[in-house]
C-alpha cells in the first residue's frame, strides 16, 4: 500500500518549492517591518516578539516535528531575516 | 503608503502558521521515505539527493533571501528530518 519512493520524492520537491516561496514572502514582510523600524529608530531585534512567535508556533504544532525542532528551525529563519534587515540598513547608510 | 506595523505582523503570523503546517507535512513524507528505506536496508542520509535538492532550491530562489541563507535554512530542515527518521528507526527496534 505504501507509495513508491519516487512519488514521495516528487511530493517532497513540491513542498520544498512551496516552503521556498513562503520563506521569501516572509522575508519581504520582514524587510518592510525593518523599514518602518528604521524610520522609528527602534531596534530590529525584538526578543519579546520572537519568544511570543515561538510560543504561538509550539502551541499550534501538530507534529510529527517536536516543539524543540520547530523552535530550532524558526530561530534559524528569524536569524536569516535579521541579517537581511541589517544588510538593508547598511545599504541605506551607503546611499 | 506603508502598511502599519500591526498589519505586517499579522501577515507574518499567518505565514509562520503556513510554514509550520508545510514543515510538518514535509516531515510526514520524510517519515514515509524512511520506512521504505528501512525495509530496503539502505541508509537514510543521502548526501547526493540533499545536494540535488539544495541546487534545485537555489536555482528556483527568487530572493530576497540569498542562496546561502536558503541553503542554511534547508540544511537545518534536512537535519531535523533525519533526526525524526532515526527516532522512528529506534522505536521500531524497541517494538
Determine the pLDDT at residue B43.
92
A20, B63 in Cβ contact below 8 A? no
ipTM for the predicted complex: 0.93
Q: From the CA atom positions of chain A, what is the Rg in Å? A: 17
A32, B3 in Cβ contact below 8 A? yes
Smallest Cβ distance to A12: which of B24, B26, B69?
A: B26
B11, A31 in Cβ contact below 8 A? no
Range of the domain at A27: 5-94
- A13-57 pLDDT, tens digit per residue, is 999 999 999 999 999 999 999 999 999 999 989 999 999 999 999
Test mutation, A2, A3, A12, chain B, max B CBs within 10 A: A12
CATH number at residue B39: 1.20.59.10
Q: Count of domains in chain B? A: 1
- B48-87 pLDDT, tens digit per residue, is 999 999 999 999 999 999 999 999 999 999 999 999 988 8
Amino acid at each position: 500500500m505504501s507509495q513508491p519512493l519516487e512519488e514521495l520524492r516528487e511530493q517532497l520537491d513540491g513542498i520544498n518549492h512551496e516552503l521556498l516561496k513562503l520563506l521569501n514572502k516572509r522575508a519581504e514582510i520582514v524587510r518592510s517591518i525593518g523599514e518602518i523600524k528604521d524610520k522609528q529608530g527602534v531596534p530590529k531585534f525584538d526578543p519579546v516578539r520572537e519568544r511570543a512567535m515561538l510560543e504561538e508556533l509550539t502551541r499550534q504544532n501538530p507534529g510529527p516535528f517536536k516543539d524543540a525542532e520547530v523552535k530550532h528551525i524558526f530561530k534559524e529563519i528569524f536569524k536569516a531575516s535579521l541579517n537581511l534587515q541589517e544588510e538593508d540598513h547598511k545599504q541605506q547608510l551607503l546611499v
